[in-house]
């Protein structure tokens, strides 16, 4: 896909989704500036992105809350649009440390928007989350589904940002903003060179299963076997990170001719249970995943999957990668990088 917007600032571009987005932008012929404070990532991801993309990107080490730094980036780099991934993302951590989440996710986005406004850059793609729907009563969840009563600061920080971005777009029709509500991003680039590298014990299902598969963790705790789902375990809409990232490029493309505040779900429209994910991962990896059913995790919902019609109609975007490809790619990344970016294999290993 070729984009008319050429120079893109990617905040949080060293992280899991941002690194895949930076690569997709390089491949689309864009010049990429990454701003990341590396609080949850490693510069090695960007070295690998540049290697895979066949050309350099511009990395700025710094914080999205640093207004002076933002101003200098916008003054120097002639940015056309911003993909804003930078933020904190652990639901559990946000309950214990809400101020850090409001500061990083809400204040960080405010500072970014102020600097964008001052620089006259008004095209923004924001990483939102299906978590803003709370515990929806009906499936699938469309963009018209009311946002829910949220039980944690992480989710609230995403909803607050969506709301002030909408106010901003109403106040000045030169803004073109997309809030992309991600369902459950999984998988990795097919090279196995970039992927998800959570610090410590993972909170999310796929990184946890992957670490059980390589023997770093003994077994998976399945949170709840008594939901009213087909096998009693929770159901989610898992989406390959490459499909998710393609949705960002489609959103950027759409923002060229579309003012205002836009919300699009990025999911596949299909839900899988935890037990189905375990089986699919076992098929992909050839490893068995020992698990125990334990009580439900506090705050978890029974099920959630996307209505994808709006993104299809307005962005001409649809996820094309199936569950097996998600699991194969997740496993390739984990098996080639059992310690994430910390113990790097040769950068040319396994490049197709
Ligand atoms: P990630 O932690 O891998 O990436 C976030 C990146 O932002 C990291 O590189 C981190 O170092 C950087 N960062 C954090 N705070 C910063 C700051 N103040 N200044 C500069 N850089 C900063 O997370 P991810 O999974 O790639 O998620 C990207 C975005 O998507 C986040 O906003 C997250 O909330 C959102 N999201 C993620 C998921 C998911 O399941 N991964 C689901 C829904 C939404
Ligand atoms: N899950 C689980 N064990 C884990 C992590 C997650 O059983 O160690 C379940 C969780 O209850 C949910 C699904 O896997 O049903 C996806 O959880 P994740 O944390 O990845 O995403 P989210 O809950 O934010 O959708």
Q: Identify the active-site residue in 101, 133, 154, 182.
A: 154
The atom number, within ligand 2, closest to the CA of 274 reads: 14
Q: What is the DSSP letter of 306?
A: B
Residue 73: inside a domain: yes
CA 319 to chain centre: 14
> Ligand 2: residues within 6 Å at CB?
184, 203-205, 208, 220-223, 234, 236, 274, 297, 300
- What DSSP letter does each residue of 127-147 carry, written as one string? EEEGGGG-S-SSSSBPTTSPP
In a domain, 226, yes or no: no
Q: Which helix (H) or strand (E) segment is 81 a member of?
A: strand 81-84
d(CA 166, CA 8): 22
Q: Which two tokens stand for residue 35?
A: 């701003």
State residue 148's pLDDT score.
81
> Is residue 339 included in any domain, yes or no?
no
Residue 134 burial (CB count, 10 A): 18
Q: Is the pTM of this model over 0.85?
A: yes
Q: Sorting pLDDT into bands at 50, 70 and 90, what band is 153?
A: very high
Contact 11, 36 (CB under 8 A): yes
What's the confidence (pLDDT) of residue 346?
44
Q: Does the annotation mark 154 as catalytic? A: yes
Measured distance between the N- and C-terminal CA atoms of the chain, rounded to whole angstroms: 20
Q: pLDDT-based confidence at 342, cuts 50/70/90?
A: confident
The CA distance from 156 to 204, in Å, is: 19
Residue 273, domain member (yes or no) = no
13 occurs within a structural domain: yes
- 338, two tokens: 């059992």
- For ligand 1, say whether the CB of 43 is within 6 Å of any of its atoms: no
- For the segment 70-79, the average pLDDT, to the nearest whole number, is 96
Cα angle 206-270-2, degrees, rounded to a multiple of 5: 85
The pLDDT of residue 91 is 92
Domain containing 143 — which CATH number?
A: 3.40.50.720
| Residue 22: DSSP 8-state | H
242 occurs within a structural domain: yes
Q: pLDDT band at residue 151, thresholds of 50, 70 and 90? A: confident
The span from the CA of 286 to the CA of 300, in Å, is: 29
Residue 331 domain flag: no
Residues 6+ apart with CB under 8 A from 142: 265, 306, 307, 309, 310
Task: Provide CB contacts within 8 A for 209, sequence distance 6+.
Answer: 220, 277, 278, 281, 289
- CB 125 within 8 Å of CB 162: no
List the one residue out of 90, 92, 86 whose CA is nearest residue 62. 86
Nearest alpha-carbon partner for 210 in 337, 331, 345, 340: 331
Would you say residue 215 lies in a domain? Answer: no
198 C-beta neighbours (distance < 10 Å), count: 18
Contact in structure between 10 and 83 (CB atoms under 8 Å): yes
Specify the residue with its C-alpha closest to ligand 2, atom 12: 234
Structural domain of residue 110, as residue ranges?
7-185+237-267+304-319
Contacts of 159 (CB under 8 A, 6+ apart): 132, 147, 150
pLDDT at 277 over 80: yes
User: If you average pLDDT over residues 223-228, what whole number do you get?
Assistant: 98
pLDDT of residue 1: 79
Structure tokens at 62: 């710094």
**pLDDT for the residue numbered 343:** 62
Query: Average pLDDT for residues 280-292, to the nearest whole number?
Result: 98
Q: How many domains does the chain have?
A: 1
Q: Using N-to-C axis directions, what is the helix angle for 241-255 and 16-27, rounded to 10°? A: 60
Instruction: Give me the mean pLDDT over the 5-18 stretch.
Output: 97
Q: 125: Cβ below 6 Å to ligand 1?
A: no
Residue 351 has pLDDT above 70, yes or no: no
Peptide bond into 281 cis (omega under 30): no
- The mean pLDDT value of the chain amounts to 95
**Which of the four pLDDT bands, split at 50, 70 and 90, describes residue 349?**
very low
Provide φ and ψ at 206, rounded to 5°: -65, -45
* Residues 243-271, mean pLDDT to the nearest whole number: 97
* Max CA pair span of the chain: 56
Q: Which atom of ligand 2 is nearest to the CA of 297?
A: 11
The count of other CB atoms within 10 Å of the CB of residue 120 is 9
Are 147 and 128 in contact, with CB atoms under 8 Å apart?
A: no
- Do 235 and 229 meet the contact criterion of CB atoms below 8 Å apart? yes
17 CA from centroid of ligand 1 (Å): 7
């Amino acid at each position: 896909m070729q984009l008319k917007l050429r120079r893109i600032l990617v905040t949080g571009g060293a992280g899991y989704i941002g690194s895949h987005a930076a690569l997709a932008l390089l491949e689309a012929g864009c010049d990429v500036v990454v701003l990341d404070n590396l609080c949850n990532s490693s510069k090695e991801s960007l070295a690998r992105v540049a290697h895979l993309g066949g050309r350099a990107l511009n990395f700025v080490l710094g914080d999205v809350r640093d207004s002076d730094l933002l101003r200098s980036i916008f003054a120097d780099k002639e940015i056309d649009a911003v993909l804003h991934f930078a933020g904190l993302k652990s639901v559990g951590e946000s309950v214990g440390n809400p101020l850090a989440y409001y500061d990083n996710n809400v204040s960080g986005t405010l500072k970014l928007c102020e600097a964008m406004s001052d620089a006259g850059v008004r095209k923004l793609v924001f990483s939102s989350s299906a978590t803003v729907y709370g515990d929806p009563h009906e499936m699938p969840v469309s963009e018209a589904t009311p946002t829910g009563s949220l039980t944690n600061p992480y989710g609230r920080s995403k909803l607050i940002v969506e709301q002030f971005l909408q106010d901003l777009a109403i106040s000045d029709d030169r803004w073109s903003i997309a809030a992309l509500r991600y369902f459950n991003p999984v998988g990795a680039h097919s090279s196995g060179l970039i992927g998800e590298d959570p610090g410590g014990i993972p909170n999310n299902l796929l990184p946890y299963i992957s670490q059980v598969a390589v023997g770093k963790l003994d077994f998976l705790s399945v949170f709840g076997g008594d939901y009213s789902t087909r096998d009693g375990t929770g159901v989610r809409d898992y989406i390959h990170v490459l499909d998710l990232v393609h949705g960002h490029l489609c959103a950027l493309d759409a923002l060229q001719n579309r003012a205002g505040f836009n919300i699009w779900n990025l999911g596949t429209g299909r839900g899988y249970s935890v037990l189905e994910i375990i089986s699919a991962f076992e098929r992909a990896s050839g490893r068995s995943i020992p698990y125990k059913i334990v009580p439900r995790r506090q705050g978890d919902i029974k099920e959630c999957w996307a209505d994808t019609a709006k993104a299809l109609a307005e962005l001409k975007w649809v996820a094309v990668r199936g569950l097996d490809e998600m699991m194969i790619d997740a496993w390739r990344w984990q098996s080639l990088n059992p310690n994430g970016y910390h113990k790097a294999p040769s950068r040319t290993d396994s490049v197709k």
